[in-house]
């Protein structure tokens, strides 16, 4: 047998995905008058909704209370547009937005909650198409081309690394309540002058067919299911209470589930945000409780959305989001997922630091950071002394674009103590890309080199293996999750293109080799999975190809499919044996629905 096996369950799941997708299109449609033809279904006024791309140029009412669009939004401006707080200015134009008087202060709900942050630009990022086209399969089905995607607080992709607490639905304040979609009606619900509540969530089901799973000689054919639900209660612009429930399960597996596969009923996020004060025109916020972390490129700190359980922490955080400067200071403890009991923080694994982001001009991002990790647990897999350890990480990143040329550079140095050995390690990433915006299918191409140090001798009193912390390795180092950012070189080429506006094709090629032959190959979780302590097996890990295709079915629905294959190099071939393979592959198919 030399590839993934087929399974009747896969056919059944695919049919289920398609049925769910057909039903899912309604989630993204506002209520429509009866008696309309299929091609007339639209969120836009019939007078401006046209069927040809070249006829959609006239401006479309955005419900912001300007000119002919006055009255289209659902704002309740209060007496004389003063918000009910007696703060109207002479000659001031009435703004179409919801305001209220809370404890003697005027609250502009279009700006609440404070501190919402768009996802920081990752590495090897795509450039989605713009201009007239069908932005979802539902648009194509309804023959409704658009000049731009429909607004949403969620990304138009199956995976969503940002947390739900950063999903920005503030735009809903400018939409007439009668014209909101079902999902939008669950957001921004006024309870009193001071209280507003939002809710939502996500369901996904992912079929996985793994050949030589985890580099064993066994196949694994299974499904992962996940449900997330959140509640978001805002008290004016001063206090926010956010909670999120998670249910993650694994079905029909042939191998024991991984720790990141199952968590049957737990709290993913539960925190309070408090506005402390304003500094230079931006609020300084404090967050206390259980919370996910996502910082910078996610090479070191990420929510790990591919994992069925995601990743979360208990602790405190102070942050400021400004026009050009963002600052995060945090101290937390890691919360490992536990399949059948409530999660608790691991008091032996503390994680904290400070992260500063500067945006000197549009499209340019500078990160500067320091992070501290302490792991007091005793860990020595494959006779490699990994913990107890304390790691100090200093690093920086610069990414930007100009005239469709793209670049991304990040470097990190680590020092500290690892099992009574002095630690000194480092990692470097350098990438260059090009957006061919005038070419067919709007392609973006990247070439990258990634390096993370390894240790030539784990018993010489010095440690040099880079600690990857809490990364989104799946995004960067191959979708098979067999390679982590430790003791590795990776030369990779990546390309995105869009056969249609609603179809994303992402191709990756990786060539991996070890930094030190006597150190191990570490997987995406930082666990050593193959090693030759003598170093005589060489360093060539092999070559991986990944094909990822995302179909954006409707505003809140996606279908993700992909195939990955690793051709093992000399190192994997030399260290293979009984139940230790040198090649591996993966096919997956996933449907997700957000609300």
pLDDT tens, 22-64? 444 445 555 443 333 222 223 333 333 333 333 433 333 333 3
Note the pLDDT of residue 459. Answer: 83
CA distance 184 to 575: 54
DSSP string, 267-306: EEEEEEEEEEEEETTEEEEEEEEEE---BTTSSSB---TT
Rounded Cα–Cα distance for residues 459 and 222 (Å): 40
Please report the pLDDT score of residue 115 as a whole number. Answer: 87
What is the per-residue pLDDT for 262? 98
- The overall average pLDDT reported for the chain is 88
What count of other Cβ atoms lies within 10 Å of the Cβ of residue 213? 22
Q: Distance between CA atoms of 75 and 95, rounded to whole angstroms?
A: 8
Environment class of 175 (CB within 10 Å of its CB; exposed 0-12, middle 13-18, buried 19+):
buried
pLDDT confidence of residue 458? 85
Q: What is the pLDDT of residue 551?
A: 98
Give the span between the Cα atoms of 552 and 558, in whole angstroms.
Answer: 5
- pLDDT at residue 97, as a whole number: 78
Give the model confidence (pLDDT) of 332-384 as tens digits: 999 999 999 999 999 999 999 999 999 999 999 999 999 999 999 999 999 89
- Angstrom distances, CA of residue 153 to CA of 116, 120, 169: 11, 15, 5
DSSP summary character for residue 259 = T
Residue 122 phi/psi, 5-degree rounding, is: -80, 180
Instruction: Assign residue 210 a region (left: φ > 0; alpha: ψ between -120 and 50; beta: otherwise).
Output: beta
pLDDT < 50 stretches in the chain: 1-6, 8, 10-26, 31-95
Question: For residue 353, which of 375, 337, 374 has the smallest C-alpha distance?
Answer: 374
Question: Rounded CA gap, 518 and 513, in Å?
Answer: 12
User: Domains of the chain (ranges plus CATH)?
Assistant: 8-30+114-594 (2.40.160.100)
- Residues 428 and 411: their CA atoms lie apart, in Å, by 5
Contacts 24+ apart (CB under 8 A), 56-63: 56/132, 56/145, 56/146, 56/147, 57/147, 60/147, 62/174, 63/96, 63/174, 63/175, 63/176, 63/179
């Amino acid at each position: 047998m030399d590839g993934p096996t087929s399974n009747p369950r896969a056919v059944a799941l695919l049919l289920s995905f398609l049925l769910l997708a057909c039903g899912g299109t309604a989630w993204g449609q506002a209520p429509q008058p009866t008696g309309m033809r299929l091609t007339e279904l639209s969120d836009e006024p019939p007078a401006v909704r046209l069927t040809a791309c070249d006829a959609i140029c006239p401006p479309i009412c955005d419900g912001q209370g300007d000119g002919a669009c006055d009255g289209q939004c659902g704002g309740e401006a209060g007496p004389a547009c003063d918000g009910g707080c007696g703060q109207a200015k002479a000659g001031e134009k009435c703004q179409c937005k919801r305001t209220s008087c809370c404890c003697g202060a005027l609250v502009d709900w279009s700006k609440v909650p404070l501190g919402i942050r768009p996802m920081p630009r990752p590495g090897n990022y795509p450039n989605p198409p713009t201009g007239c086209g069908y932005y979802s399969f539902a648009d194509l089905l309804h023959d409704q081309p658009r000049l731009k995607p429909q607004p949403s607080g969620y990304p138009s992709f199956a995976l969503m690394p940002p947390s739900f607490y950063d999903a920005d639905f503030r735009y809903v304040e400018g939409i007439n309540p009668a014209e909101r979609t079902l999902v939008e009606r669950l957001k921004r619900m006024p309870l009193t002058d001071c209280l507003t509540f939002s809710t939502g969530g996500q369901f996904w089901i992912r079929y996985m067919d793994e050949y030589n799973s985890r580099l064993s000689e066994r196949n694994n054919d299974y499904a992962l299911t996940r449900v997330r639900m959140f509640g978001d209660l805002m008290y004016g612009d001063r206090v926010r209470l956010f909670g999120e429930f998670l249910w993650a399960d694994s079905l029909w597996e042939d191998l024991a589930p991984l720790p990141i596969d199952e968590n049957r009923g737990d709290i993913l996020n539960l925190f309070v945000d408090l506005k402390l004060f304003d500094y230079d025109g931006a609020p300084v916020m404090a967050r206390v409780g259980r919370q996910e972390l996502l910082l910078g490129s996610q090479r070191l700190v990420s929510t790990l959305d591919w994992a069925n359980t995601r990743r979360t922490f208990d602790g405190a955080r102070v942050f400021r989001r400004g026009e050009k400067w963002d600052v995060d200071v945090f101290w937390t403890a890691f919360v490992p997922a536990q399949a059948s009991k409530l999660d608790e923080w691991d008091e032996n694994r503390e994680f904290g630091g400070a992260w500063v982001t500067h945006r000197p001009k549009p499209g340019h991002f500078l990160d500067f950071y320091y992070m501290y990790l302490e792991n007091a647990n005793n860990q020595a897999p494959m006779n490699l002394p990994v913990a107890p350890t304390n790691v100090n990480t200093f690093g920086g990143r610069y990414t930007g674009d100009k005239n469709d040329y793209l670049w991304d550079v990040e470097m990190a140095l680590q020092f500290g103590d690892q099992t009574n050995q002095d630690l000194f390690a480092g990692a470097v990433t350098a990438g260059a890309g090009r957006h061919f915006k005038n070419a067919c299918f709007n392609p973006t191409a990247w070439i990258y080199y990634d390096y993370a140090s390894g240790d030539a001798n784990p018993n010489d009193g010095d440690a040099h293996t880079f600690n990857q912390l809490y990364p989104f390795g799946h995004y960067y180092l191959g979708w098979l999750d067999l390679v982590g950012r430790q003791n590795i070189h990776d030369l990779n080429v990546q390309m995105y293109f869009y056969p249609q506006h609603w179809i994303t094709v992402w191709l990756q090629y990786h060539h991996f080799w070890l930094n030190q032959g006597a150190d191990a190959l570490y997987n995406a979780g930082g666990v050593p999975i193959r090693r030759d302590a003598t170093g005589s097996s060489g360093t060539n890990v092999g070559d991986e190809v990944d094909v990822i295709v995302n179909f954006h079915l409707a505003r809140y629905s996606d279908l993700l499919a992909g195939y990955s294959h690793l051709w093992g190099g000399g190192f994997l071939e030399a260290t293979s044996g009984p139940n230790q393979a040198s090649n591996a592959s993966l096919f997956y198919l996933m449907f997700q629905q957000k609300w």
